[in-house]
């Protein structure tokens, strides 16, 4: 008889806790491995898929992250952050897509994810802003106007309010709404003092959308100039050098 007993096998919740700790230490490969082991022991744990997806996303494996967020949603359809992060991964893939057609397909696929996230998390201001930005990038300006109206009233965080004013003004202008309907967004951008950090918000997607505007048949020179003016007003709220991701 052996004097040494084998340690009892780890249970799925213990592996899940180990994965959480490894995420805190930013040890992404080991966090991903621990989450995988938790899933092997209990495939019904949505949190394990969330952790594995997050680690995969940080490591640049966006396809794997999307697959795991999908599995988390299947196990817990009310988990708003899973919808949000899956949409974000699709948007990231769109940024790296080789052609405009594939990029638009991925952005279109991200839209229902962001929409569902904003429904499940009505107090998550980032979810509302992400949806609004995506609708502008897709050229769905009327939808973006409606989204602005819904989220402008919900915004409590001062910086997010500023971002909403920027996106809202762009949406209203491109939807062809009269100036009286969006002037308050411009006034908000003019009145507020600079407060955004260089990493507060990326403007890369909107900048790309603005580059495409001259090719849109309904975007005349006046609208284009107004949108550029709003964009310039927003950029003034960043420190010297502007946003890091632009």
pLDDT level of residue 95 (50, 70, 90 thresholds): confident
Instruction: Judge whether 84 and 127 are in contact, CB under 8 Å.
Output: yes
Least confident of 27-41, 154-168, 192-206: 192-206
For residues 142-165, give the mean pLDDT: 95
Tokens of 113: 């994810």
Which ranges of the chain would DSSP assign to H, the alpha helix? 12-24, 28-41, 46-58, 62-75, 80-95, 100-120, 125-137, 141-152, 158-174, 179-191, 204-212, 221-235
| Residue 79: pLDDT over 90 | yes
Tell me what pLDDT residue 220 has: 85
Taking 50 as the threshold, does the pLDDT of residue 246 lie above it?
no
Write down the pLDDT at residue 1: 44
240 pLDDT exceeds 80? no
pLDDT (tens digit per residue) in 201-225? 888 888 888 888 888 887 888 999 9
Identify the CATH number of the domain defined by range 10-121: 1.25.40.10
Q: Under a CB-based contact definition with an 8 Å cutoff, are residues 29 and 61 in contact?
A: no
Report the chain's mean pLDDT, rounded to a whole number.
91
Q: Provide the pLDDT for residue 86.
A: 97
Strand, coil or helix: 8: coil
Across the range 85-92, mean pLDDT stands at 94
- Report whether 45 contacts 16 (CB < 8 A): yes
- pTM over 0.85, yes/no: yes
- The pLDDT, as a whole number, for residue 17 is 95
Non-local (6+) Cβ contacts of 218 within 8 A are 176
- The confidence band for 52, taking pLDDT boundaries of 50, 70 and 90, is very high
> Which has the minimum average pLDDT: 12-26, 34-48, 64-78, 91-105?
91-105
Q: Identify whether the C-beta of residue 161 lies closer than 8 Å to the C-beta of residue 129.
A: no
Q: What percent of the chain has pLDDT over 70?
A: 93
């Amino acid at each position: 008889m052996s004097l040494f007993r084998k340690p009892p096998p780890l249970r799925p919740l213990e592996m899940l806790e180990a994965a959480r700790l490894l995420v805190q230490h930013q040890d992404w490969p080991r966090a991903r491995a621990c989450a995988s082991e938790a899933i092997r022991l209990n495939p019904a744990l949505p949190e394990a898929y969330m952790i594995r997806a997050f680690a995969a996303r940080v490591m640049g494996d966006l396809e794997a992250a999307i697959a795991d967020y999908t599995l988390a949603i299947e196990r817990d359809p009310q988990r708003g952050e899973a919808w949000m992060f899956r949409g974000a991964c699709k948007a990231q893939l769109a940024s790296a897509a080789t052609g405009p057609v594939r990029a638009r397909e991925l952005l279109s696929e991200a839209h229902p994810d962001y929409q569902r996230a904003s429904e499940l998390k009505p107090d998550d201001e980032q979810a509302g802003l992400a949806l609004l930005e995506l609708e502008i990038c897709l050229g769905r300006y009327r939808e973006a106007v409606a989204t602005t109206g819904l989220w402008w009233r919900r915004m409590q965080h001062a910086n997010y309010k500023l971002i909403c004013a920027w996106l809202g003004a762009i949406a209203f202008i491109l939807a062809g709404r009269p100036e009286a309907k969006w002037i308050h967004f411009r006034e908000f951008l003019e009145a507020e003092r600079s407060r955004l950090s260089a990493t507060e918000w990326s403007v890369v997607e909107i900048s790309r959308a603005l580059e495409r505007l001259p090719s849109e048949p309904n975007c005349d020179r006046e609208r284009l100039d107004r949108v550029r003016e709003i964009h310039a007003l927003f950029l003034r709220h960043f420190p010297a050098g502007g946003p890091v991701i632009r």
